[in-house]
Structure 1
């Protein structure tokens, strides 16, 4: 079955595959015939979809209390049909909702907004905390750091590039394009060019680290505001050290970089970032404030007063007055918030844990805080879901109708979500069954979310990408 149909070896670790054989071996099923081609693609698929929907109900049941983020992303399928998929993200993980075939539609902001409204109405607008879209021209989102990744690649294989330029085989390429060949050779042996790459990587490293941290399904909405400020200060420090300037001096280069970063922040900063930041108890603690003399507690920061816009949008006048009173009590550490342990734990405990333990005296504020402190800040799960889509709806398997492909993606993605919530996923024979590759064992001590979020610049993933026994690659990695 594996060798004749091209099935991936990872199927042997699939718990559903194993359980089917266990059931068959322990049951009297003489004369049983496996399901037919038509049943698998029609009635059984719909039956399994309903079963998965039923299994997802306990997760959906937490949305009213914990809140949910709706994310969307667009791409074309192998038949060049434009698709937009929608997912719901909570602390439990990303749940696939649906994929919309947008053929013969004008994908402007009005069309996308109407699709988003349909999803929100189906979930219930009271449960939705935020909406995150992709970075298409008619949407707003962050840019990707592909250039930085490429520069890191160059630096990693510097020795290999130089060896290539002095090899006899280089002359074969040089004949095809002498201009490009000369340019490449000039650069790879230019120490100043490599110094420029190192400098570019050094001052962009804080930017890249922040984007990488936020580009996950992990709850980090409440961390973005502080991370942005910290990132800018790190960039400033690196540039000033390189230029050997004291902080009081002005750097024209830093001014350009700072202006670019601030412009990007102004486009992406929302009142929701400010509100979630102001509800994090850590940012009121003496320990956090004393780390930098320029820091202010959120209730003293004029810019963070944007949080008021959120209260005006979501609450009635009477509710807003009550929440404002509760926020004042929390921010100035009055009543129960003045307790020693409550103050002591603001810096040390996870913000959600602190809210659960100490926030009951401000019930409305506690409810909003628990929702906001559990939300992601990017639509990265939608991007990764296209890999699943390509796996099930490839160039070889392109005769599926969009609706049947959507049903397959729904079942596959959400079965993975449900499976990752079980203890068997992190141990035993079916450990991380949906992670394929011969180098699977190298992930033994890595958490599932870390594995799921690996990118091409991760050394763990490089071991899987590069072929075994490649002496040149091994030499580069040793360097």
Structure 2
């Protein structure tokens, strides 16, 4: 009443959906601020509206992406993609969920239902065994969509096999790790590196992204001449 909202707004189905979603949260849910509604939430709605413009012609791709945060919680992000761009839908904390094909299927199927099966062309996930099985289950239930393994994850698995099964790759990558660790453990060497490489950084490999190891080797090769000049040698072995 204080905001002069018309009584017929209670007939809006979106209001009913909003109330239902609010009820799914525990006590203490905070309402969005004026700035959040006016800027990020409005922008998200505008982006989603733009995506919907070409949905009848091209359809959506539903994508899932699993990762771990700084507290080692297992998080799964859900996004939709179209020729107009990609937008974030939601994040789900999956730390306490056993990622069997049944549970993964339930999560993905819920988002397919939310977006509308008629609007989705394909679902993209990683290439793990449980996701393969989930993809088969989705295609059996939803006859018009396809499951596609993530290309990036497939390439990452190939590079992982290269490192584990090809001795020359394994030895070379280990040398690259030692070089980058040696440089980044000494502040003086970091300063010299930036001086001779025009402030370019070395890409340092991490445990779970095997592509990074090869990118690091590529950067070491790229900066090989700079390191040779710094060390006073004509080559760097």
Q: Give the TM-score of the pair, scaled to structure 2.
A: 0.47
More strand, by proportion:
2
